[in-house]
Amino acid sequence: MEEQRMPLIGDDAPSFKAVTTQGPISFPEDYKGKWVILFSHPADFTPVCTTEFITFASIMDELKEMNTELIGLSVDSLYSHIAWLRKIQELDYKGMKNVEVKFPLIEDIRMEVANKFGMIQPNASNTQAVRAVFFIDPKAKIRCILYYPLSLGRNFDEIKRIIKGLQKADSDGVATPADWRPGDDVIVPTAGSCGVAKERMESKDDNMYCLDWFLCFKKEKK
């Protein structure tokens, strides 16, 4: 099997056409103007994956409100996907029950899409995709990548935080500090000259404060 370089942050997300549980899709054409979370899982009917799909489905509407669409992938067949997603509707996990997975789940038996995104990692498994998460912006650029080992379930609060943080950075031209949550103060771009650094340190702007010339925050309205 031909090895392909894993795409990196800032790269164009690889394009693909795929058969899914929601019909055929073409990426990125079908997702113009949308943020996309493309994620892989090792296999259908596995415990960790089942808890993740229930959780992904439960936050789908919340993500749509953030202009974000979900696309799942594993190397199982379409019929296996359908059987598994039907079984998921019968389960009750943490009070989430009767959950219908409405986002597309890619059939990738030949591992074509998984290999384009570096989701098959031989030291983990030659036949299963690791738990990868690609955050792709409306211009089809990869903005963030998370990788989890087969045994570790994903953190969904962090997945939502990443989307909100990336969108905040794009809309306001700012950066987000450690452990940022929506509503927290944000970091303004570092001063690019001695003059600007001096102005910031002497500024009386009530909406901004500096810990030092290179670390200034913009207050967010609570």
Question: Does the pLDDT value for residue 1 go beyond 50?
Answer: no
CA–CA distance, 88 with 98 (Å, rounded to integer) = 8
Establish whether domains 16-154 and 173-222 are of one fold: no
Annotated catalytic sites, by residue?
49
Question: Does the pLDDT value for residue 188 go beyond 80?
Answer: yes
Q: What single-letter DSSP state applies at residue 184?
A: S
Cα 51 to Cα 47, 58, 209, distances in angstroms:
7, 11, 43
Residue 127 identity: T
Lowest mean pLDDT among 45-54, 74-83, 125-134: 125-134
Q: Does domain 173-222 have CATH number 3.40.720.10?
A: no
pLDDT score recorded for residue 221 = 79
**Average of pLDDT values for 130-152?**
93
CA–CA distance, 128 with 22 (Å, rounded to integer) = 22
Question: CA angle, 46 as apex, 114 and 72 as ends, to 5°?
Answer: 35
- Fold category of 16-154 in CATH: Glutaredoxin (3.40.30)
Residue 179 identity: D
The model scores a pTM over 0.85:
yes
Phi and psi dihedrals of 71, rounded to 5? -135, 120
CA–CA distance, 211 with 46 (Å, rounded to integer) = 48
Is 131 known as a binding-site position? yes
Domain boundaries, the chain: 16-154, 173-222
Question: CA angle, 56 as apex, 142 and 54 as ends, to 5°?
Answer: 155
**Average of pLDDT values for 61-81?**
96
Question: Does the pLDDT value for residue 129 go beyond 80?
Answer: no
Question: CA angle, 175 as apex, 171 and 180 as ends, to 5°?
Answer: 105
